Amino acid sequence: MAAEQPLVLVLEDVHWAEPTFLDLVDHVVDLARAVPIFVLCLARPELLERRPLWAGGRPHVASVLLEPLDDRDADRLIDNLLVGRPLDPVVRARIVESAEGNALFLEQMLALLAEEGHATSVPPTLQALLASRVDRLPIGERGLLERAAVVGRSFSIDAVRDLTPEGEAHEDLRFVHGLIRDVVYESIPKRTRAALHERCAERLDSDELVGHHLEQAHCYRSELGVESSSLAARAAERLARAGRNAYLGGDAPAAAGLLGRAVALVDPQAVERPALLAELADALRESGDIDRAAAAVGELEAVAESRRDRTLEALALVCRHRVLLMTSSTFDAARLEQEAIGATEVFEQAGDERLLAKVWELRGVEAWFQCRAGVAEHALARAIDHAQRAGDERTEAQSMGLLIGAAVFGPLSVEAGIGRCDEILARPQAPRRITAASLRASGALLAMRGDFDTARERLASAREMLEDLGLVLAAAQAAETAGAIEMLAGDALAAETQLRAGYQSLDRMGDASMRVNLAALLAQALSAQGRHAEALVLTEVAEQTASPGDLSAQVLWQSSRARALVGLGRSAEAGHFGLRAVELADRTDFLNVRADALLAYASAARSRSAAADAVAAAISLYERKGNLVSAEAARSIVSSAQSWSATR
pLDDT for 65 equals: 86
Q: Does 104 lie in the same domain as 51?
A: no
Q: Does 627 lie in the same domain as 567?
A: yes
Domains identified in the chain, total number:
3
Q: Does 574 lie in the same domain as 549?
A: yes
φ and ψ at residue 622, rounded to 5 degrees: -60, -45
In contact, 458 and 443? CB cutoff 8 Å: yes
Residue 216 domain-assigned (yes or no): no
The DSSP secondary structure of 221-269, one letter per residue, reads: HHHTT---HHHHHHHHHHHHHHHHHHHHTT-HHHHHHHHHHHHHHS-TT
Residue 572 domain-assigned (yes or no): yes
> Buried (b) or exposed (e) across 148-163, using 16+ Cβ within 10 A?
bbbbbeebeeebbeeb
Residue 101 DSSP one-character state: T
Closest CA to 518 of 556, 480, 562: 480
**SS3 state at 428:** coil
Q: Does 547 lie in the same domain as 642?
A: yes
Residue 495 domain-assigned (yes or no): no
Residue 438 domain-assigned (yes or no): no
Q: Does 631 lie in the same domain as 561?
A: yes
In contact, 351 and 332? CB cutoff 8 Å: no
Q: SS3 helix, strand, coil % of the chain, rounded to 5?
A: 75, 0, 25
Q: Is 423 left (phi over 0), alpha (psi -120 to 50) or beta?
A: alpha
φ and ψ at residue 489, rounded to 5 degrees: -80, -5
Residue 571 domain-assigned (yes or no): yes
Over residues 594-642, the pLDDT tens digits come to 999 999 999 988 888 889 999 999 999 999 999 999 999 999 886 554 4
**SS3 state at 8:** strand
Q: Does 80 lie in the same domain as 15?
A: no
Residue 24 domain-assigned (yes or no): yes
The DSSP secondary structure of 55-75, one letter per residue, reads: GT-STT------PPPPHHHHH
Q: Does 24 lie in the same domain as 104?
A: no
Last residue within a domain, chosen from 75, 94, 120: 120
What is each CA distance from 380 to 360, 447, 610, in whole angstroms?
6, 26, 39
The DSSP secondary structure of 164-189, one letter per residue, reads: SPTT--------SSHHHHHHHHHTS-
pLDDT for 639 equals: 58
Q: Does 537 lie in the same domain as 634?
A: yes
Domain CATH code at residue 597:
1.25.40
In contact, 64 and 54? CB cutoff 8 Å: no
Distance CA 478, CA 259 (A): 27
Residue 246 domain-assigned (yes or no): no
Q: Does 12 lie in the same domain as 114?
A: no
pLDDT for 646 equals: 37
Angle at 504 between CA 503 and CA 510, to 5 degrees: 85
Q: Does 75 lie in the same domain as 48?
A: no
What residue numbers bound the domain in which 576 lies?
531-648
Beta bridge partners of 37: 7
Over residues 237-295, the pLDDT tens digits come to 999 999 988 887 767 788 899 999 999 999 988 999 999 999 999 889 888 788 899 99
Q: Does 618 lie in the same domain as 564?
A: yes
**SS3 state at 9:** strand
pTM for the full model? 0.66
Over residues 565-600, the pLDDT tens digits come to 999 999 889 999 999 999 999 999 999 999 999 999
Ranges of residues in the chain whose predicted pLDDT is under 50: 167-170, 641-648
State the number of CA atoms in the 13 A half-sphere of 404 facing the CB: 27
Distance CA 433, CA 250 (A): 6
Q: Does 611 lie in the same domain as 549?
A: yes
Residue 508 domain-assigned (yes or no): no
